[in-house]
Chain A
Amino acid sequence: MTPPPSAPSIPPTFSVVAETEAGHSPWSDAWHRLGRNRLAVAGGCLLLVLAVACIVGPWFSAYSYEDQNLDLGAAPPGAQHWLGTDTLGRDLLVRILYGGRISLGVGLCATMVALSLGVTYGAIAGFFGGKTDMFLMRVVDIMYALPFTIFVILLMVFFGRNIVLLFLAIGAVEWLTMARIVRGQVMALKKMEFIEAAQVLGFGRRRIIFRHMIPNVLGPIIVYATLTIPAVMLLEAFLSFLGLGVQPPMSSWGTLIKDGAEKMEEFPWLILYPGAIFSLTLFSLNFVGDGLRDALDVRAAKD
């Protein structure tokens, strides 16, 4: 063997300066980038305020969502009822806050259902590949082909209308896309050298999936989840609008908008306020989702 003549010691490729120890994790980098995105931060704050208001607000209100005051009827916004009342004399503010609980709850729960189902399903399909993958993804394709509205109507007709079922029905539709996204990500990742390196190091299958794969596909999953929430809320509103969702005297933003739309000409505040709150929430969620996408983008993370 002929070692190169001038190699008495390993030449360092760095200037030895004893300073920085803690590095920037990809997560903290993404967090900083998100913090610089003003729209996303504003959206996040607004969502937080809305959520807190919906949870805490009704406790401090003098009215309940079902208290009727038929003498009053539909009153315009004023000192007594800040956002006015509906035709049955129910306080609109309290009903919006209550509706927010349902709408935000549906959004979160259905997204959780979609998330857990889709990530597990997609990861299994992507990791094992071959015939397993083929079979699992054809099932997804078939589910995709079913018309969603008819599917939900059938569910409601067979099992009766209840909110839990609504969560499940919406979640059961939204997980399909999630499964596809996760499958694609896992398949791409499986070919990466660091996964092969983990195999060469003798790591077990479970360790490879949970420690080396999942953390690396979490970015796109989080982004898609934030964009799923508004989609789910729209679906709930749509179903409630059709009369398949939440039942009176309960309210959701969808039912409030539906009721308001019927009396839009005489009592415009009945659609104005629920609609405005709903739109604001959707905008905020989309801004947060976009912000997350930019922050977690691998290409942006390169520099």
Chain B
Amino acid sequence: MSLPILQLANLKTHFPVHRGFVFKRQVGTVKAVDGVSLTVHRGEVLGLVGESGCGKSTLARTILQLVPATEGAIILEGRNLTRSSAAEIKAARRHLQMVFQDPYASLNPRLTVYATLAEPMLVHKICPRDEVAHRIAELMQTVGLPPLSQKKYPHEFSGGQRQRIAIARALALQPRLIIADEPVSALDVSIQAQILNLLSQLVRRMHLSLVFIAHDLSVVKHISDRVAVMYLGKIVELGLAIDVIERPLHPYTRALVSAIPTFRPDGGRPRIVLPGDPPSPLNPPSGCAFHPRCPYATVACQAAVPPLERSKASHEVACIRAAEIAGPR
């Protein structure tokens, strides 16, 4: 296989927490992303799942250099972005784009669709000036926007159409990797499927790679090749989408999977309801961060952080009891 498009090596994003007004002192650290190692291959869709506050969005923002990484490496096509100059990062942005969660907030309300799409092309000199109009018409066709609405403003479009504009804007730079941060969670359910279909079509047609962030597995299930499950700043399970969803190993993933709606008359598998709330990333539990909510927790779970490894199973998991738990199935 060729060089992966994106590699994250032990990536950490920590935020210091200060207290006091005049004499500021650091009272703690929020470890939003805490040692994430991931590889995204060319042409693949990687689903990243986890509940609110687990660090998915911070991970996306760190990869895109909106938030500085505390430690570790972000390697985009062989180039380490954490050690790059501002000019190199600007050049890298061409290949790395983002689709935001809220299409009502991610478009400049004072710019027409045309201006929104033309600006990145002109700034990065994607094509000669006289071809911009032609390319915009093409782009709008690609994402399914009416070509005659070029001169309209964002507020004249519906949520789904705005998200199409945002996708077109990301595509304007002909990127190789798009990170989509919950791109459908602000949309009506009926529109979600359309945007998901559009994204998976684009990936195939334009040979893109996509990191698709979501907070529930049912959305990720259809679109992803591989799935990574995140809990409190760490990846706890990683594998092919089929494996992770059909044979979840980590107790947290099992709970997530049990929450996917089924259409079987007997109600399908029993729903696993986790007790408690996710712990504060300011003061995470010792050992495996999931142990206070885990039905399988033992004393050993409190002692050490389990590594993400492929034991005997079909994919990687960070749980010392994974083999036992998955056993009877």
Binding site for B on A (CB under 8 A): 1-4, 7, 10-14, 16, 18-27, 192-194, 196-203, 207, 211-212, 215-216, 301-302
Contact = CB atoms under 8 A, between A and B. Distances in A.
6 contacts: A3-B200, A10-B198, A13-B144, A20-B149, A23-B152, A212-B108
A7 B169 contact: no
Contacts of A192: 105
A7 B164 CA distance: 16
Contact of B119 (A1, A3, A201): A201
B149 A23 contact: yes
Contacts of A10: 143-144, 194, 197-198, 201
Interface of B: 44-45, 61, 64, 66, 89-90, 93-94, 97-98, 100-102, 105-110, 112, 119-120, 123-124, 143-144, 146, 148-153, 155-156, 158, 160-161, 164, 166, 169, 173, 191, 193-194, 196-198, 200-201, 204, 221-225, 241-242
A13 B145 CA distance: 8
B197 A1 contact: no
B181 to A, nearest CB: 9
A18 B196 contact: no
Contact of B93 (A12, A22, A201): A201
A15 to B, nearest CB: 9
Contacts of A13: 144, 158, 160-161, 164, 191, 194
Given A1-B224, A24-B152, A202-B94, 7 more contacts: A1-B200, A3-B204, A3-B222, A4-B196, A10-B198, A13-B158, A203-B123
B148 A22 contact: no
B120 A201 contact: yes
Contacts of B146: 12, 14, 16
Contacts of A19: 148
Nearest to B204: A3
Contacts of A197: 98, 100, 106-107, 166, 169
A276 B25 CA distance: 60
A102 to B, nearest CB: 37
A205 B146 CA distance: 32
B160 A194 contact: no
A215 B111 CA distance: 10
A200 B222 contact: no
A35 B60 CA distance: 45
Given A201-B123, A203-B123, A1 B223 contact: yes
Contacts of A203: 119-120, 123
Contact of A23 (B44, B93, B156, B161): B156
Contact of B150 (A16, A21, A26, A207): A21
Given A202-B123, A207-B123, A216-B108, A24 B156 contact: yes
Contacts of B144: 10-13
A5 to B, nearest CB: 10
B123 A26 contact: no
Nearest to A4: B222
Contacts of B153: 23-26
A3 B201 CA distance: 8
A3 B203 CA distance: 11
Contacts of A20: 148-149, 152
Contacts of A302: 155
**Top 6 A-B pairs, shortest CB-CB distance:** A23-B152, A202-B93, A193-B106, A10-B144, A193-B105, A7-B197
Contacts of B97: 200-201
Contact of A26 (B102, B110, B223): B110
A20 B196 CA distance: 28
A201 B148 contact: no
Nearest to B99: A197
A200 B66 contact: yes
